[in-house]
Amino acid sequence: MKNNSRYTRRSFLRTLSYSAGTLALMPAFKSLAACSLPGKDKRLGIALVGLGGYSGGQLAPALQETKNCYLAGIVTGTPSKADSWSKKYNIPDKNIYNYDNFDSIANNPDIDIVYVVLPISMHKEFTIRAAQAGKHVICEKPMALNAGECAEMIAACKKANRMLSIGYRLHFEPHNIEMMRLGQKEIYGKVTSIDTGNGFTYRGDPNAWRLKKALAGGGGLMDMGVYSIQGSRYSLGKEPLFVKATEEKTNHELFREVDETVFWELEFPGGILAKGKSSYNNNWGYLKVKAEKGTFGLEPAFGYGGIRGNSPAGEMNFPQINQQAFQMDDFARCILQKKPTRVPGEEGMRDMKVIDAIYRSIASGKRERIV
């Protein structure tokens, strides 16, 4: 989805001040606004590792709007990309790396943060290498192939005394922040159930890395399902205990290595059930929460823009923002002010524990404990 509304931070805050419905959310929004303030010392340099569609279509443009950080370097195995990105974003040759000489980034004071935007099978390696090179790390979601790899990444960053954040942009998006508030604060009473789904109809390259299990770890569940899992978890503010899951596959040739469509039911403390689904062959994108005194939800829920929400109070009157810009600015601010990120590696590992259990349930046909 395109981010079709180009709000500046000033217009964002002005819109918030005009909306009575935002008053209860102002503490969270003040935190968001703070990430747009320049750091006391300097703007931090970010190097993007992997120059695929997300880096080129979302992250690099967002870094033209950030206040606390900027695009300082790139890491790519494709010389033609190195040349075109260098010209487009005025990146000096000394800040351009490939995967072989990546470790020499340790000697570059221009780069403070490494953003890993690679196939999932490479997340662990380059997160650990970046930390060992003395750089703070943002790793795209899903964090790794499994929870065990996540634990290794977290340990490596802690050993190197570097901060690790996961690319959960929706933790900075106003509609999703409102879902957190409504559910966790029990504004409409206790949550009784959740229904959420995320997916799209895959029409891309049949040889893409996302369809290779060795590179992606899985299919629609890893790529799209993580948003639905996140939505359930942050709407409740609780961790699920058990899951029962099934898989459906209609295009066996295209999805011969990875899952196409997965359905699951998460069991949370207190007996709350969250139905979820993910797909590479269905266009879903919603998050609905039922509570004792009403229902609230988002649809579309998880895109880069165009998010809409409703609650018993009416339509959620929040602006669309550049989620990636807010996400990266917040992490830079956390580094500059020595504060913890709201989306640390532990948050990514929690999702991977759920995903691991979903795959176990598909294989066993049984209800599985999330451990």
99-152 pLDDT, tens digit each: 999 999 999 999 999 999 999 999 999 999 999 999 999 999 999 999 999 999
Q: How many CA atoms lie within 13 A of 59 on its CB side?
A: 28
Task: Determine which one of 124, 135, 141, 353 is catalytic.
Answer: 141
Instruction: List Cα–Cα distances, 181 to 23, 171, 187, 188, 237, in angstroms.
Output: 12, 12, 8, 11, 9
Query: Is 141 designated active site?
Result: yes
pLDDT at residue 107, rounded to an integer: 98
In the chain, residues under CATH classification 3.30.360.10 are 174-318+345-369
pLDDT at residue 27, rounded to an integer: 52
Q: What residues form DSSP beta bridges with 290?
A: 193, 295
pLDDT at residue 14, rounded to an integer: 34
Q: What does CATH list as the number for 174-318+345-369?
A: 3.30.360.10
On average, the pLDDT of the chain sits at 92
Q: What is the DSSP string of 103-164?
A: GGGGG-TT--EEEE-S-GGGHHHHHHHHHHTT-EEEEPSS-SSSHHHHHHHHHHHHHTT--E
Band the pLDDT of 42: cuts 50, 70, 90.
Answer: confident
Q: How many CA atoms lie within 13 A of 329 on its CB side?
A: 24
The fold adopted by the segment(s) 44-169 is Rossmann fold (3.40.50)
Q: Which of 332, 313, 329 is nearest to 172 (CA)?
A: 329
Please determine, for residue 94, whether its predicted confidence score (pLDDT) is greater than 90.
yes
- Mean pLDDT value of segment 346-352: 98
In the chain, residues under CATH classification 3.40.50.720 are 44-169
- Mean pLDDT value of segment 256-279: 98
278 sits in which H/E element: strand 273-279
Query: Is 188 designated active site?
Result: no
Task: Determine which one of 202, 227, 280, 359 is catalytic.
Answer: 227
> pTM here?
0.91
